[in-house]
Structure 1
Amino acid sequence: MMRKKLNKLFLLLMMPLLMVSTVKAQTKKHLAVGDPVPAFSLTDQDGKAFDIKNEIGKHILVIYFYPKDESMVCTKEACSFRDSFNDFTKAGAKVIGINSGTVASHKSFSDHYKLPFTLLSDPDNKVLNKFKVKGMWFFSGRQTFVIGLDGKVAFQYSAMLEGKEHSDQALQYIKSAKK
């Protein structure tokens, strides 16, 4: 009898917490196709300011979020974007990688793997949160967005453990959209 009362009390106490968690999960949906790119300004691997508003309309933007410089999957992902860089450029796209790493970490990573594209430092994950990129376990998320010349999300791809696929899927989308 006492156990039933304790179970009921536990459920009553947990209900508000479960409801809040459900609401947060529903509002944490990633940006969808057709949504405008959020405004942001960050610092790149060379210490220069990067403001997204200066890029909209000039290029198709491929913005990819990745958890950590020099980690195995993130390195494969970055090198895949590097290896396809000329194809992205020919298609009129600019590649931008973002994570919470420091400017110095991004510079070292970029130099180590000869990455020809922009890496932006988002130390407090403010931009990651604006894009509503979901993490997994204790890692920040891995998600790629293609932003059209109109400044809206044209395509998005998410796969935490498939780094190379991000480059492949984004390039495939851009090429198919041009036809």
Structure 2
Amino acid sequence: MLQLGDKLPVFELEDQRAEIFSSVNIENKAVVIYFYPKDFTPGCTAEACEFRDKYEDFKDAGAVVIGISSDDTASHAKFSKKYKLPFIMLSDSNGKVRKQFGVKSSLMGLLPGRETFVFDKSGSLIMRYNSIKSKNHISKALKALTKA
């Protein structure tokens, strides 16, 4: 389980274009990684759209935004296109990266957890927020970035 101060784990996953994304390629950048349960569900759609609506604020803070769920790349492609999501969406179909970050399931293990991680430019974890409710993830991430 990642603790404050831990470094961004090294991982590779396919993005919404079915291209390999490597966390090594975002070294020396602030990063917001949010794990969510499922594309097209009400809470996950609201969260993704709020990240989209605040995306310029994240860019102004020098941060890369990444959404990760177990949905496949085709689902991410449709989700990104339908809601005009400007950030990276990664498919963690086997849950390996979710486990690497220590994201636990919620609702008695029925749903994959919803958790947001913020790393500063040196790759150190500066915020970890866990709540099944999508509200507050975005504002807490932006606040952590502005403090960094």
Q: Do both proteins adopt the same fold according to a TM-score greater than 0.5, normalized to the shorter chain?
A: yes
Alignment match, 1:80:
50
Q: CA deviation at 1:165?
A: 1.1
Alignment match, 1:135:
105
- Note if 1:149 corresponds to 2:117: no
Q: Structure 1: which amino acid aligns with 2:90?
A: L
Which ranges in structure 1 are unaligned for 5 or more consecutive residues? 1-29
| Structure 1 residues 62-97: Cα deviation after superposition (integer angstroms, max 9, x where no partner) | 000000000111111101100000000011001000
Runs of 4+ in 1 over 2 A off after TM superposition: none
Q: Structure 2: which amino acid aligns with 1:49?
A: I
Larger radius of gyration: 1
Identity of aligned residues (%): 45
* TM-score of the aligned structures, taking structure 1 as reference length: 0.79
May I ask how many residue pairs the two structures share in their alignment?
146
Alpha-carbon distance in 2 for matches of 1:171, 1:164? 13
| Structure 1 residues 10-53: Cα deviation after superposition (integer angstroms, max 9, x where no partner) | xxxxxxxxxxxxxxxxxxxx311111121100010011110001
- Note if 1:37 corresponds to 2:8: yes
Higher strand share: 2
Q: Structure 1: which amino acid aligns with 2:34?
A: Y
Which ranges in structure 2 are unaligned for 5 or more consecutive residues? none
- Note if 1:167 corresponds to 2:106: no
| Structure 1 residues 149-175: Cα deviation after superposition (integer angstroms, max 9, x where no partner) | 1122111111112x1311111011111
Which structure 2 residues correspond to residues 98-109 of structure 1 after superposition, within 5 A?
98-109=68-79
| Structure 1 residues 109-129: Cα deviation after superposition (integer angstroms, max 9, x where no partner) | 001111000000001010000
Choose between structure 1 and 2 for higher RCO, CA contacts under 8 A separated by at least 6 residues.
2
Which stretch of the first structure deviates more once superposed, 165-174 or 124-133? 165-174
- Note if 1:65 corresponds to 2:35: yes
Are the equivalent residues in 1 in contact too, given 2:12–2:20 (CA < 8 A)? yes
Alpha-carbon distance in 2 for matches of 1:125, 1:95? 19
Alpha-carbon distance in 2 for matches of 1:76, 1:164? 8
Q: CA deviation at 1:176?
A: 2.5
**Which one of the candidate residues 1, 12, 19 is aligned to 1:48?**
19
Alpha-carbon distance in 2 for matches of 1:148, 1:176? 10
Q: Structure 1: which amino acid aligns with 2:84?
A: K
RMSD: 0.9
Are the equivalent residues in 1 in contact too, given 2:71–2:91 (CA < 8 A)? yes
Q: Structure 1: which amino acid aligns with 2:126?
A: A
